[in-house]
Structure 1
Amino acid sequence: MATKKVLASVAQFCAGNNVGKNLETVLELIKEGSRRGSEMIFFPEASDYIAENKQQGLELAQKIDGEFLTSIRQSAKQHKLWLSIGVHELAEGDRPYNSNVVVDNNGEIVSVYRKLHLFNVNIKNGPQISEANTTSEGSGVVKPIDTPVGKLGLAICYDVRFPELALALRELGSQGIAYPSVFTEKTGAAHWHVLMRARAIETQCYVYSSAQIGNHNAKRSSYGCSMIIDPWGTVIAHCPSNNEPSLATAEIDLEYVEKVRGQIPVFENRRRDVFRTNYDLL
């Protein structure tokens, strides 16, 4: 499907608990991406809302065919571009999925990945955070899909700390990996660049790191720095460090993916006889 060179963008904005306002922001960024000639735009995790508490989060969650995604699908079709966007997907029970949804240029949902790794920490006399209290856990890796930017693998935020997912996606054919994210300011400043660049270098894939930025409410703020990283590990586009909604755009060159992989053939040199995998079972 993909041509050798296309434009892609990563989005950045500060979502709150007003779903309608967040939708307006996403739709404006889609228009801007279309004006730039982007064939695919990558939006952050939780682009639909960031709630102030569990009850509010449950009340705001929509099914995958709800108004939020329906409006975004219509915009993708109107502007003839693809989207990857992080949303809360209402499911059975009291905890929605944290999902990365891919919409094609006909407005059709072509893939849904549900976050595998949920952030749970319980530090004595320190922070106690349990994403599992508010979010249902995904059940498996989703096979990469054909997009304008090549074979695309899907992940979400905290997944970046688990290289086995990125390696599995590369083994399954990925030429790029999408990580819609909401990194805290502290962990973002310490780990955002090094983790995302590491995933790009070890998989020799483009990495699309779209992120939330700014103060969402009195208890939560995000690091931002949405960026696109090439298969050599170079940051080739990044959003500004202010809270205004923005895009960063770069040319995606699939011939460069092939070149990097030819120069350092790490996946041909892997010791599969020692480090066994079951990617072929997916």
Structure 2
Amino acid sequence: MALASFAASLPIAAATAVVRTRAAVVRRAMSSSSSVSAGSQARVGVVQMTSVGDLDANYATCSRLTKEAAAAGVKFLCFPEVFSFIGSKDGESVKIAESLDGPIMQRYCSLANDSSMWLSLGGFQEKGPDDSHQYNTHVLIDDSGKVRSSYRKIHLFDVDVPGNMVYKESRFTTAGDTVVAADSPFGRLGLTVCYDLRFPEIYQCLRFKHQAQVLLVPSAFTKVTGEAHWEILLRARAIETQCYVIAAAQAGKHNEKRESYGDSIIIDPWGVVIARLPDRLSTGFAVADIDLSKVEAVRTKMPISEQRKFDSILKSSSL
């Protein structure tokens, strides 16, 4: 397995990517820091996997990847949407949904603690407001196994995908109503989930109202929509917010009815891809070293936060 690396001559230099696939593990020994400060780097990882309708099988995959990422020096590992379970029948996810202090999430909390690693767990089936609904919840766990923050997906995927099938997430899922950012040793994190990516307002809010520096986008994009829009939307969000973007993706066929696009990716604040797996179907992870001084460098050279006019125009508008 060849090392995937990307270089750029733009203001943000590309970081080294380390890729783990089913076939092999490529590792480099590098010093890493538990926090990010000016001039320092922190090693983060982005996972790609194919979840199925088996909680134990999915956990085994997540556990294996976490241990391998820890051995590669990763301090913060990001998993995709519905990492713990993807059912093949309507309503299956609601049946297994639990509270964040239930046994499923506590298992992942123990994994974070045992690995001394922060985990971003996107798209957990959190028990909803009634027996017929769940929340699609992005959970952030610290290296001691404590749930630091959680975000309930705001934008639900109710779409008739051209040439594909009809999806109606709201049938079994209740939307959240709160934008969430959280402090971490890796910068201020903006939490989102999948379909949120098509709504730039939430990312603008995370950047300009909540001072996010790193945007997390765990996803399970369909093959059709992923081929058309995945990378371009992620790069746009990075460029317009001047943030790192870490987007973990589901990949391949989960069952007879559902297939995901894949292409887990990390993008820097200039919009440069700095890490991705070498193919869209392998189960594994890619690694990059992020440096918040690069975020500040881009923002200083192009001070859009000081030049934005929309908020003041909106307040004075009669529309």
With structure 1 as the length reference, what TM-score do the two structures score? Answer: 0.93
C-alpha contact 2:264 2:280 (8 A) present in aligned 1:
no
Q: Deviations over 1:110-159 (max 9, x none)?
A: 100000000112589984321100211101111x2111220001000000
Does 1:9 find its partner at 2:45? yes
In 2, Cα distance between equivalents of 1:242 and 1:161: 21
**Per the alignment, do residues 237 and 164 of structure 1 end up closer, same or farther by CA in structure 2, a change over 3 Å counting?**
same
1:236 corresponds to which of 274, 288, 307: 274
- Structure 1: distance between partners of 2:270 and 2:213: 12
1:276–1:35 CA distance, 2 compared to 1 (3 A): farther
* Kept after mapping to 2: 8 A contact 1:170/1:203: yes
Secondary structure in 1 matching 2:44? strand
- Correspondences of 1:40-59 after superposition (within 5 Å): 40-59=76-95
Deviation larger for 89-98 or 185-194: 89-98
Q: Say if 1:206 and 1:229, in contact at 8 Å, map to a contact too.
A: yes
Q: Which residue of 2 aligns with 1:145?
A: 182
Map 1:163-174 to 2 at 5 A. Answer: 163-171=200-208, 172-174=210-212
CA contact (8 A) 1:240 1:246 kept: no
* Structure 1: 5+ residue stretches without partners: 278-282
The corresponding residue for 2:110 is 74
Deviation, 1:71, is 1.4
Segments of structure 2 that go 5 or more residues without pairing to the other structure are: 1-34
What are the residue-to-residue correspondences of 1:118-197 with 2, within 5 Å?
A: 118-122=156-160, 127-142=165-180, 144-171=181-208, 172-197=210-235
The one-character-per-residue Cα deviations of 1:19-78 (angstroms, maximum 9, x if unpaired) are 110011111111011011111001000001111122322222222122221111111111
* C-alpha distance in 2 between matches for 1:38 and 1:234: 21
- Separation of aligned partners in 2, 1:126 and 1:19: 27
Give per-residue Cα distances to partners, 1:224-262, cap 9 Å, x unaligned: 000100000001000232533201000001100000111
Deviation at residue 276 of structure 1 after TM alignment: 4.4
Q: How does 1:200-279 map to 2 (within 5 A)?
A: 200-241=238-279, 243-271=281-309, 272-276=311-315
Asked which structure has the greater CA Rg, the reply is 2
Aligned ranges 1:110-121 → 2 under 5 Å: 110-121=148-159
Matches within 5 A, 1:15-54: 15-54=51-90
Alignment-derived partner of residue 17 in structure 2:
none
The one-letter code matched in structure 2 to 1:107 is G
Query: Structure 2 CA distance, aligned partners of 1:207 and 1:275?
Result: 28
Aligned mates of 1:207, 1:214 — CA distance in 2 = 22
Distance 2:104 2:161 in 1: 36
Provide Cα deviations, 1:149-177, integer angstroms capped at 9, x if missing partner: 20001000000000000000001110011
Closer, same or farther: CA 274–61 of 1 in aligned 2, 3 Å? same
Do the aligned residues in 1 keep the contact of 2:263 with 2:280 (CA within 8 Å)? no
Paired residue secondary structure (2:307) = coil
Tell me which moved more, 217-226 or 77-86.
77-86
Indicate the SS of the match to 1:70. helix
Q: The residue matched to 1:222 in structure 2 has which SS?
A: strand
CA–CA distance in structure 2, aligned partners of residues 51 and 186 of structure 1: 20
The aligned amino acid for 1:77 is N
Give the TM-score normalised by structure 2. Answer: 0.83
Q: What is the distance in 1 between the residues matched to 2:102 and 2:282? A: 27
Asked whether the 8 Å contact 1:8–1:40 carries over to 2, the reply is yes
Residue type matched to 1:248 in 2? A
Query: Alignment partner of 1:267: what SS?
Result: helix
Change (3 A) 1:139 1:246: same
2:142 maps to: 104
- Give the ranges of 4+ consecutive aligned residues of structure 1 lying more than 6 Å apart after TM superposition: 123-126
- Identity over aligned residues, as a percent? 39
Contact 1:151 1:176 in 2 (8 A): yes
